[in-house]
Structure 1
């Protein structure tokens, strides 16, 4: 297991900030523009990618090539580069491209730094709104143009008091959808379609649960670090590590996590 020296934390956060700033500059000229084309990466479905996705990841990789050439990279659009430092930057240049091409500001840039056990630093950045959420290596805070503060998940312990988010109403397979609905029937409020921004809302105490399926490592590693820094819990649907993706359950408290986990597996 490779952990950076604590004295490196400020340097690593400065690298993450520089990548997020570079991604913002690459993305924003394309947001809400007429005639933005999206290529489809999924045969038989719709998984869009745009020039903004590619420009964002390219800009972040250029920062890493200059500042952290020994680190590995895992990115959604351009794959993996093996490093020699034992650390890997995990990048989603636009999480929520469907939202991006629809003009809704719930898409985000995701940046994580991981070792072989999972993420140790995570950032969720929303360029259009100007909000940045940061957790790990001694940091647990967020800032935006209107409000800023510490990351702190809510203290909700009962499903009946909880607000639940997921991106797609048709979450996963039939069995996964049935499991999700067992939780949804017991919560106070269920909402859809917020992409990764929902994880940021959990980390600042606005909502209580996020349940999803079919994720990749680059979709979830930054949210794991941010939510854990806020005092929350993120696992897969069996209570194990979720940093490789798949089915994920994020909860504000261990008690709420246990209650949701029981309902997911109650078939």
Structure 2
């Protein structure tokens, strides 16, 4: 039986609203910050944990057979083809700085493929969501269908990425620098917002290095639902995260990947 994606989308929207109620009491409150292990500073707050707890509890009540993969509380195995993929506060660095560029990410994979995704920023009032029928932007109750910007060559493109220092290997630094120099404009600090801006047709490329599945799985249905495309630039499985680049059109993505793969000859 074909899943009812509209009903599941409505449920995801409910999850986002409930998560916002749990997270917002910790925003701009100078809440305690803890650090996760890893090569870069990776903060976590009680806002992250509270948001995921409420999302998980609602999923477990409504769909007890569904699997769950969340950033803060790990993996719960399921007995169905569905897996919810959760990042309650994507962009915790922005969150602890008081900047409203963090977001709650909620994704749903079916038989291992991302099919439904949602990004919610409750301070701004932005919600972006996508499913097999398309992608939409809900700004404070006003809903519009989204489509990516097409017909843009790399020389006129705008790129968004979280931070250049996250491109930690020399090879990834080289790839990013080559692409940045070929484009018209590069902006930083947008976290998941940049991927939604590709879907909304405001920028042309969004990319980030070393993503986890919960960082990107919820965003892929938004991008593809709006007509965009995505790739893991080392050839890996997008659903597993990694080095992800998205673009508004096939031709722009191909141009970007080609220039990133080009290595300058030795003098």
Q: Distance in 1 between matches of 2:134 and 2:57?
A: 25
Which 5+ residue runs of structure 1 have no aligned equivalent?
Answer: none
Spell out structure 1 runs of 4+ moving beyond 4 A: none
The answer as to 2:176 corresponding to 1:177 is: no
Which residue of structure 2 lines up, in the alignment, with residue 198 of structure 1?
194
Please, what is the CA RMSD of the aligned residues?
1.5
SS in 1 for 2:262: coil
Alpha-carbon deviation of 1:227? 0.2
Which residue of structure 1 lines up, in the alignment, with residue 207 of structure 2?
211
Which residue of structure 2 lines up, in the alignment, with residue 28 of structure 1?
24
The answer as to 2:67 corresponding to 1:72 is: yes
Q: Distance in 2 between matches of 1:226 and 1:44?
A: 30
- Trace 1:106-255 onto structure 2 (pairs within 5 A): 106-145=101-140, 148-170=143-165, 171-238=167-234, 241-255=237-251
Give aligned pairs, total: 262
1:17 pairs with one of 2, 8, 13: 13
Cα pair 1:18 1:63 within 8 Å, conserved: no
Cα pair 2:135 2:223 within 8 Å, conserved: no
Alpha-carbon deviation of 1:116? 3.5
Cα pair 1:124 1:134 within 8 Å, conserved: yes
Q: Distance in 2 between matches of 1:235 and 1:159?
A: 16
Cα pair 2:236 2:242 within 8 Å, conserved: no
Which 5+ residue runs of structure 2 have no aligned equivalent?
Answer: none
Normalized against structure 1, the TM-score is what?
0.94
